[in-house]
Amino acid sequence: MTPLSIIKIGGNIIDDPTELAQFLTDFSKIEGYKVLVHGGGKSATKMAKSIGLVPQMIDGRRITDAPMLEVVVMIYAGEINKNVVAQLQANTTNAMGFSGADGNLILSTKRNHPTIDYGFVGDVQKVNTSLLETLLKSGITPVFCAITHDGKGQLLNTNADTIASELAIALSEVFEVTLTYCFEKPGVLYNADDDSSVIEKINHELYTKLKAEKAIHSGMIPKLDNCFNSLSKGVQKIKIGHHRMLQNVGIVHTSIEL
């Protein structure tokens, strides 16, 4: 199988122009097929507050009412996505920006939770693998924002970690996929306040133990749940850490194993 790199970058990199520029330079140097998925929650929160909206979060997940949906579509699919694509073009990577609605690439359903109304939040149901394969083999590097659609005309805010995970699972049918989550920390930490406390390898048994001991920061749990789900469904490798690891194999990071 042909290798494919799927990289997800977090909001703290997106919000720092210097870090973002360095990341995109490093990303552009990755050889072979690659896909980029980006968040941008902090920028969306900042914009929402500037127009008088009060962002609501539950367990690290954003509640998305109609006014907030307008903000996240504008920031994720507009400002951030096009800025990233433009910078990748400057790095001679022929990128193309997508939401899930474009080319019907990611179809979702509106989340139906028994006790919480998440609003216009989507859970991924289907990835258009054949179109993505065509794009990749045509020399296009897809750049996905955290917006999908329901096939009935409704855009949905969708967790970017989950999008990266679902893309990795779908594309593992035709590629040998390495999924990498890049953010401002060097990996999953024993102590959230100590960047030197990186857990270099986590398997499911250790994860279950650390979760029971509340030794993992709550914001990391949805990310790790996605990781183990991906590995169980065919993704080859998963790494979490600072974006410097993309071009420096010696950088300490966390590897996720079943």
Question: Which residue type, as a one-letter code, is found at position 245?
Answer: M
| HEC secondary structure over 152-183 | CCCEEECCHHHHHHHHHHHHCCCEEEEEEEEE
- Find the largest Cα–Cα distance for the chain: 50
pLDDT string in tens for the chain (258-residue length): 999 999 999 878 998 999 999 999 999 999 999 999 998 888 999 999 999 999 888 876 789 999 999 999 999 999 999 999 999 999 999 999 999 999 999 999 999 999 999 999 999 999 999 999 999 999 999 999 999 999 999 999 999 999 999 999 999 999 999 999 998 899 999 888 899 999 999 999 999 999 999 888 877 888 899 899 999 999 999 999 999 999 887 899 999 998
State how far the alpha carbon of 100 is from the alpha carbons of 42, 52, 154, 159, in Å.
21, 28, 11, 12
The pLDDT score that the predictor gives to residue 199 is 95
Strands 33-38, 2-9: pairing kind = parallel
| Burial annotation 214-238 (CB, 10 A radius, 16+ → b, else e) | eebeeebebbbebbbebbeeebbbb
The number of beta carbons lying within 10 Å of the beta carbon of residue 166 is 26
Reduced DSSP (H G I as helix, E B as strand, rest coil) percent helix, strand, coil of the chain, to 5:
40, 25, 35
The pLDDT score that the predictor gives to residue 207 is 94
155-157, strands of its sheet edge to edge: 122-127, 106-110, 147-149, 155-157
How far apart (Å, rounded) are the C-alpha atoms in residues 2 and 45?
39
Question: In the numeric block, which tokens belong to residue 190?
Answer: 């024993």
Strands 155-157, 147-149: pairing kind = antiparallel
Strands 254-256, 56-58: pairing kind = unpaired
The pLDDT score that the predictor gives to residue 65 is 96
The pLDDT score that the predictor gives to residue 151 is 98
The pLDDT score that the predictor gives to residue 248 is 83
How far apart (Å, rounded) are the C-alpha atoms in residues 20 and 87?
9
The pLDDT score that the predictor gives to residue 128 is 98
